């Protein structure tokens, strides 16, 4: 498979998904509008209009790691010197206030990686000069703890990055995330809050994106930028595959 980015439209492009029935770990708010949900009970990833594979990674729906009766999405990338991305993504829902809820499972035999493994990101589009943007918001595993990093522009060429450590990872267990994001605009500050297993671990008011014509769009899966051979050739290889499970995705517009 080519090393180039392969985000492409999948065969089924609709943003609606089957009713959320698998675990009922999360429920929509009564004052919100559900714009996307997926508990993977369909047995496939067809609800996600975009997929991205770089190298020899895999993605699919399998029996859940803690309950074989409850399906989950499984993403993998091998440590082979060319694989660094296995993700699905949604098209932008526009600016406004949104609640993103997802559950992520890191296996008990997870190998710590100091450069970071992104498990979810809200990504911008190319800048006017054609340069790629860092994701305005990313959720990552750094060694054995969770981290959120927020990027925004302070002028047409200068990006500010702020990192927030959110606590130790629970390996071999589900981590239930609740992100409430109000996208900032050129005229108004935004707000990013995050809760992990019901406890708030982040509150960040202020700019949180690049204020482009299109609001950031959501990625889910695995992305290891430091394994990209175009940027880091000769990176040591031969370790175990990286594996992440995800389930119970609900996105609401508030």
2 within some domain: no
User: Which tens digit of pLDDT belongs to each residue from 60-83?
Assistant: 999 999 999 999 999 999 999 999
- Tell me: pLDDT of 10 over 50: no
* Of 178, 139, 154, nearest in space to 29 by CA: 178
Q: What range does the domain containing 61 cover?
A: 8-253
Question: What is the predicted pLDDT for the residue at 27?
Answer: 61
Instruction: Average the pLDDT over 209-222 and give the result.
Output: 94
Question: What is the predicted pLDDT for the residue at 3?
Answer: 34
Q: CATH no. for residue 86?
A: 2.60.120.200
185 within some domain: yes
Instruction: Average the pLDDT over 208-215 and give the result.
Output: 92
Answering whether pTM is above 0.75, one says: yes
72 within some domain: yes
- Tell me: pLDDT of 159 over 50: yes
Instruction: Average the pLDDT over 1-23 and give the result.
Output: 34
Instruction: Average the pLDDT over 183-196 and give the result.
Output: 96
190 within some domain: yes
Of the ranges 49-53, 131-135, 209-213, which one carries the lowest mean pLDDT score? Answer: 131-135
48 within some domain: yes
Instruction: Average the pLDDT over 117-145 and give the result.
Output: 87
Instruction: Indicate the average pLDDT of the chain.
Output: 88
Domains of the chain: total = 1
Instruction: Average the pLDDT over 2-16 and give the result.
Output: 34
1 within some domain: no
219 within some domain: yes
246 within some domain: yes
Residues with Cβ within 8 Å of residue 107, at least 6 apart in sequence: 65, 171, 172, 243, 245
| Helices then strands, each counted (H, E), the chain | 0, 16
């Amino acid at each position: 498979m080519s090393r180039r980015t392969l985000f492409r439209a999948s065969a089924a492009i609709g943003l609606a998904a089957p009713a959320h029935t698998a675990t009922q770990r999360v429920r929509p708010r009564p004052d919100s509008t559900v714009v996307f949900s997926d508990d993977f009970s369909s047995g496939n990833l067809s609800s996600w209009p975009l997929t991205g594979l770089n190298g020899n990674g895999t993605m699919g729906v399998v029996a859940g790691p803690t309950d074989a009766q409850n399906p989950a999405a499984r993403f993998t990338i091998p440590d082979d010197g060319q694989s660094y991305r296995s993700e699905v993504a949604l098209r932008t829902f526009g600016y406004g206030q949104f609640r993103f809820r997802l559950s992520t499972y890191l296996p008990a035999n997870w190998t710590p990686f100091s450069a970071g493994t992104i498990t979810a990101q809200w990504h911008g589009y190319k800048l006017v000069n054609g340069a790629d943007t860092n994701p305005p918001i990313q959720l990552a595993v750094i060694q054995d703890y969770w981290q959120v990093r927020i990027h925004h522009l302070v002028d047409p060429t200068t990006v500010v990055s702020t990192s927030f450590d959110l606590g130790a990872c629970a390996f071999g267990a589900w981590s239930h995330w609740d992100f409430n994001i109000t996208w900032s605009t050129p005229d108004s500050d935004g707000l990013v809050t995050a809760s992990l297993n019901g406890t708030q671990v982040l509150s960040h008011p202020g700019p949180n994106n690049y204020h482009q014509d299109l609001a950031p769009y959501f990625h889910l899966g695995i992305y290891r930028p430091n394994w990209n051979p175009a940027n880091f050739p000769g990176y040591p290889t031969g370790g175990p595959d990286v594996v992440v499970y995800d389930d119970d995705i609900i996105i609401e517009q508030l």
